[in-house]
Structure 1
Amino acid sequence: MDINIRRIDKEQAWLLRHLVMWPEKEFDFIKLDDDGLGKHYGLFEGDELVSVVSLFAQGDQAQFRKFATLATEQNKGYGSRLLSYVIGEAERAGVKRIYCNARVNKVAFYEKFGLRATGSAFSKSGKDYVIMERCYLSFI
């Protein structure tokens, strides 16, 4: 099994996002206005793009968004590998807080990566979300 993680173009991320997250919606629904400002990462098994996530950093904070893994490849550890990689990239860049808008049914998954629910929740496009974060303390 030849697995690698690398930066990808936003257009590659869009294809997988649409297929996994919102296949019933128009293609443009999965695009973000600030996709041009993000860093997009993909996990490949051989030549096949299996999982994607986009990272948006601003100052010492970063948000990961639109995390998607092919349905046929879920529960195999691919998403976990990709998310660990991206969190590590954010840490190396000096991020003090990383956060996401997690679908309520995925909270336990994100807790495995040290993210905690903030208490802020919302609904969008018929889905319920909770804001989760992981903060890093720096000591002087």
Structure 2
Amino acid sequence: MWPDMPKNYIILPNDAEGTHFGLFVNNALTSVVSLFIDDKVAQFRKLATATAEQGKGYASMLLTHVVAYAERKKVNSIWCNARTDKKEFYLKFGLHSTKTTFTKGEIDYVVMEKIIIC
């Protein structure tokens, strides 16, 4: 996700509180995502796929699994900070853009969410 940044740039204070998912291809970790559930609200973050493996559907498979997992946990919504240039990707999973935007490391983001009817 941030291959040119030091590890401490990627680590967030509550990372240990999340559930971390990985997709392996031929025993190699290929795609990752972390899920954080607080009460009835889930946030996924750090969705990333190895550069050489991008475009093969691995992130889609992993995100489909994580959204279904969150739904089984009976959350009311799931959200993420999406890079604005990747917004179309998240629309495929039923997330929609909110009015909240920000910039981090010269990259523009929009908060996207999906309301889940349990």
- Shared fold (TM-score, shorter chain, > 0.5): yes
- CA separation in 1, counterparts of 2:55 and 2:2? 19
What secondary structure is seen at the aligned counterpart in 2 of 1:25?
Answer: coil
Residue 8 of structure 2: aligned partner = 28
What secondary structure is seen at the aligned counterpart in 2 of 1:23?
Answer: coil
What secondary structure is seen at the aligned counterpart in 2 of 1:95?
Answer: coil
Instruction: Determine what percentage of the aligned residue pairs are the same residue.
Output: 49
Residue segments in structure 1 that go unaligned for 5+ positions in a row: 1-20
Residue 20 of structure 2: aligned partner = 40
Residue segments in structure 2 that go unaligned for 5+ positions in a row: none
Q: 2:53 aligns with which of 60, 66, 73?
A: 73
Structure 1-normalised TM-score? Answer: 0.82
Alignment RMSD = 0.8
Aligned length: 118
- CA separation in 2, counterparts of 1:97 and 1:60? 7
- 1:1-140 equivalences in 2 (<5 Å): 21-138=1-118
Residue 6 of structure 1: aligned partner = none
Structure with greater helix percent:
1
Note the alpha carbon deviations across 1:99-134, whole angstroms, 9 max, x for none: 000000000000000000011101112110000000
